[in-house]
Amino acid sequence: MSIPQIVDSHCHLDFEDFDGEHSELIARAAEAGVTRMVTICTRLKNEPAVRAIAEAHEPVFYAAGTHPMSAAEEPLASVEELVTMAQHPKFVGIGETGLDYHYTADSMAVQQESLRIHIEAARQTALPLIIHARAADDDMARILAEEYAAGAYACVMHCFSSSAELGRAAVDLGFYLSMSGIAAFPKSTELREIFAAAPRDRILVETDSPYLAPPPHRGKRNEPAYTAHTARIGAETFDMDYTEFAAQTSSNFDRLFSKAAAWTPDG
């Protein structure tokens, strides 16, 4: 019997944890049913290296942006720069961007400026915005809503582990919530309840690898194949058969990341 196919909607294959191992990682992912993945560039100076990984491996797509924790260290992105990068056929999302006040609250002003630039790029390209949010729920909800009122855009709250209020605010704007290994941790009952309250057609799954490995690999290096472990917990959370949940989240991915869904090897 064939393994249900799922998508790792967010990983970091350019990180040194995976150096020289991309082909093996992708093969292990395929064995687990993870047939597509989006690798995320977090500093625009690294975009050529991330792009090269996507170009070299058919199942891999990519996105690029300035991570909020790096916003004060990196040159401020421009809308034009992001729009130009987005012309690549395998460039499928804007980000990750967002707000992180946990370690980097001192740069909140530049983080907010960077976030608004990325939102405008998402509008202009019609590609989904990929949001990182930590310890900044009020500002995040406010800015997402302000910007949406100024012009619609699509968005996923990557590795969602924030409050129920931010989750509802995102869903109310038509955005998506992505389950990472955090949602599979035994003590994450409240987080699973937040996901369970969301529409099932707004849910994605991801690894954020090499971070946040789900059980039974918690504490070890994460990799795209482990999306399947989180997805099985997701299926339980939504009281769905695993095959049904895999199909639902893959359909959700295709709807949000429509450029990836439309891509063919021959262009």
Contacts of 236 (CB under 8 A, 6+ apart): none
pLDDT band at 265, cuts 50/70/90?
confident
Separation of alpha carbons 23 and 26, rounded Å = 5
Q: Name the percent of the chain lying above pLDDT 70.
A: 99
The single-letter code of the amino acid at 201 is D
Q: What is the pLDDT of residues 221-243, one digit of tens each?
A: 999 999 999 999 999 999 999 99
pLDDT band at 123, cuts 50/70/90?
very high
User: Is residue 1 pLDDT above 80, yes or no?
Assistant: no
The single-letter code of the amino acid at 203 is I
User: Is residue 2 pLDDT above 90, yes or no?
Assistant: no
Separation of alpha carbons 113 and 111, rounded Å = 5
Q: What is the pLDDT of residues 198-229, one digit of tens each?
A: 999 999 999 999 999 999 999 999 999 999 99
Separation of alpha carbons 199 and 209, rounded Å = 25
pLDDT score recorded for residue 58 = 97
When pLDDT is averaged across residues 113-136 and rounded to a whole number, the result is: 98
User: Is residue 56 pLDDT above 90, yes or no?
Assistant: yes
Asked if 183 and 234 count as a contact pair (C-beta separation under 8 A), the reply is yes
Q: What is the pLDDT of residues 161-186, one digit of tens each?
A: 999 999 999 999 999 999 999 999 99
pLDDT score recorded for residue 120 = 98
Exposure on the CB side of residue 96, measured as CA atoms within 13 A: 25
Cα four-point dihedral sign 101, 102, 107, 111: negative
pLDDT score recorded for residue 111 = 98
Separation of alpha carbons 227 and 245, rounded Å = 12
Asked if 187 and 159 count as a contact pair (C-beta separation under 8 A), the reply is no
What is the pTM for the complete model shown? 0.97
Tallying the residues shown for the chain, one arrives at: 267
Q: Element (H or E) spanning 60, and its range?
A: strand 60-64
When pLDDT is averaged across residues 133-138 and rounded to a whole number, the result is: 97
Walk me through the domains of the chain, giving residue ranges and CATH numbers: 6-262 (3.20.20.140)
Report residue 205: phi and psi, to 5°.
Answer: -125, 155
